[in-house]
Amino acid sequence: MRIEEMTIPGTFLITPDQLPDDRGVFFEAMRCDRLAGAGIDFTPRQINYSVSKRHTLRGLHSVSIPPGQAKFVTCVRGALRDIVVDLRIGSPAFGRHQVSELTAESGRSVYVPEGVGHGFLALTDDACICYVVSSTYVPGTQIDINPLDPELDLPWNCPEPPLISEKDAKAPTLAEAVAAGLLPVLPGPKEQP
């Protein structure tokens, strides 16, 4: 498998080596030893699935630190436009985004580190996404950012108004989340004695 760091530090695109034959195709979707070899410390603790109609927009979601939650995201049916946004105050990429197209056929996945927001637009009906996550669900720790925040101006490129939950539609903008102190802050450089 190919593991490539994306423009958001600590975020990776994982592309499996597929072995096709006349029966179909086989590939390894995730290997913790390969992730570790790329500098990714990831231990799965929970697996979630989400099934969505075409033009459904979910996100941007993250988890406060602590407890934090890294995600290994894969489209297992259909196709998705996947977007990650760096929500870590003090990161050189704070507020920047990265777009990936994930399809069941490609088997590609995105590794989303703690403190980075994640969202997606379903490009097909009955699209299914699998989240392998590093921590179990802890009520009250979710961080939601409005995926239609005009300052973020994320390229969802939806040909019609997206289907979006009330929670996501009413989520704060990035600026509002910063002002409310909702986002993680990276430690600054250590002072020299």
Q: Would you state the pLDDT for residue 189?
A: 65
The amino acid present at 177, given as its one-letter code, is A
Name the H helices within the chain: 32-37, 166-169, 174-179
170 membership: H or E segment, kind and range: none
Q: Would you state the pLDDT for residue 187?
A: 85
CB 126 within 8 A of CB 27: no
The verdict on whether 118 is a catalytic residue reads: no
Cα–Cα distance, 37 to 84 (Å, whole number) = 23
Sequence length of the chain is: 193
Tens of pLDDT, residue by residue, the chain (193 residues): 999 999 999 999 999 999 999 999 999 999 999 999 999 999 999 999 999 999 999 999 999 999 999 999 999 999 999 999 999 999 999 999 999 999 999 999 999 999 999 999 999 999 999 999 999 999 999 999 999 999 999 999 999 999 999 999 999 999 999 999 999 999 876 555 5
**In 10 A of CB 179, how many CB atoms?**
11
Structural domains of the chain ordered from first start:
43-179 (2.60.120.10)
The verdict on whether 61 is a catalytic residue reads: yes
Q: Would you state the pLDDT for residue 86?
A: 98
Cα–Cα distance, 129 to 80 (Å, whole number) = 8
Q: Would you state the pLDDT for residue 192?
A: 53
Task: Specify which residues 73 forms β-bridges with.
Answer: 110, 131
Which residue is catalytic, options 97, 118, 131, 137?
A: 131
**In 10 A of CB 193, how many CB atoms?**
3
Cα–Cα distance, 62 to 177 (Å, whole number) = 12
Which residue is catalytic, options 61, 97, 111, 118?
A: 61
